[in-house]
Amino acid sequence: MPFPFNAYLLAFLGSFFTTLITLPRWRKWCLRVGLVDDPGHRKIHDAPVPLAGGLAVLTGLAAPLVAGALALKFGFLGVNTTVFLSYGLSRRAAELIAILFGALGMVTLGCWDDRHELRPAAKFSGQCLIALLVAAAGVRITLFVHSALFSYAITVLWILSVTNAFNFMDNMNGLCAGLGAIAASCFALIAAAAGQYLVALIALVCAGALLGFLPYNFPGARAFLGDAGSHLIGYLLAILAILPHFYSRRNPEVLSVFKPLLILMVPLADLVWVVMLRWKSGRPFYIGDTNHLSHRLVRRGWSRAGAVLLIWL
């Protein structure tokens, strides 16, 4: 009995249109409460831009997942879909709840930083706490090492690295959200091909929510992600890299565990590059500059939109 692939389409379109429709409302709310990015140093916009992206993407993520869970519970999705997804939901219910609360935590932390510019230590501590709570719920990396301490440590390190990699990549219109949508789509394809239907659906919801934001952010920006959005994207991609079983009896190739590194190579390589440059120049690694890949392409003559499209490619 094949998996009903219309469920994939429904998940993707539901998240896409939820973000697309709710973003103008979040944009108005941000303007009303003053949650905006003002013009200033290293910024090219000359008027305040609402930081509505993270809130809209979170809405596009949460609403379809909650609606889908309710539809599954009451049998609205059909027998086939219920059979395929019920087992995964029963096994991973606690993990999924923790993931959603972690997403809410990342957006809350990012909004607080957007509004009050948290100190790096405070922001880093918040990220660590969220990563620890998610790991405690069972969303952990093992890498064939049977040690709880190692599992917790590598999981927290991974979530922090990917979250901050995407936070660093949020330096041009469309770059962070576009890379996030591409990576989420890759994880969806891998999970679907391996018969991990629930993970594939979650990845497609993430991809749809991010693509629903892009029309408001690329090439011109009527809304920014803000730290709330970049934190959320990085966190989601870190989680999507953990959820699939890349190594299994059906796929016993050990090197397959490196697939997430390949999928996320661009933001991770950019993170390592700029951190090394800042460290060599004696500056704190968390102080922004214009040494990112996107900035270097612009300095070589590319337009900003062209640089973003090349990095997407």
Per-residue pLDDT tens over the stretch 274-304: 999 999 888 888 888 888 999 999 999 999 9
User: Residue 167 to residues 21, 115, 176, 266, 270: CA-CA distances in angstroms?
Assistant: 25, 16, 8, 13, 11
Rounded Cα gap, residues 44 and 232, in angstroms? 24
In the structure, what pLDDT confidence band is assigned to residue 117 with cuts at 50, 70 and 90? confident
Residue 196: predicted pLDDT = 84
Gyration radius of the chain's alpha carbons: 19
The stretches of 34-78 forming alpha helices (DSSP H) are: 53-73
List phi, psi (to 5°) of 99.
-65, -45
Average pLDDT value for residue range 87-92: 64
Using an 8 Å Cβ cutoff, are 105 and 163 in contact?
Answer: no
In the structure, what pLDDT confidence band is assigned to residue 254 with cuts at 50, 70 and 90? low
Residue 215: predicted pLDDT = 95
In this structure, what token pair is assigned to residue 255? 């090197």
pLDDT tens digits for range 120-165: 899 999 999 999 999 998 888 887 778 889 999 999 999 999 999 9
CB burial of residue 249 (10 Å; 0-12, 13-18, 19+): exposed
Residue 24 preceded by cis peptide, ω within 30: no
Query: Which tops the pLDDT comparison, 146 or 173?
Result: 173
The stretches of 170-264 forming alpha helices (DSSP H) are: 175-193, 197-213, 226-242, 259-263
The torsion defined by the Cα of 218, 224, 230 and 236, in degrees rounded to 10, comes to -70
Residue 88: predicted pLDDT = 59
- Helix or strand holding residue 283 (H, E): none
pLDDT tens digits for range 185-201: 999 999 988 888 888 99
Other Cβ atoms within 10 Å of 122 Cβ, number:
13
DSSP code at position 243: S
- Looking at 12-16, 71-75, 128-132, 240-244, which range is the least confident one? 71-75
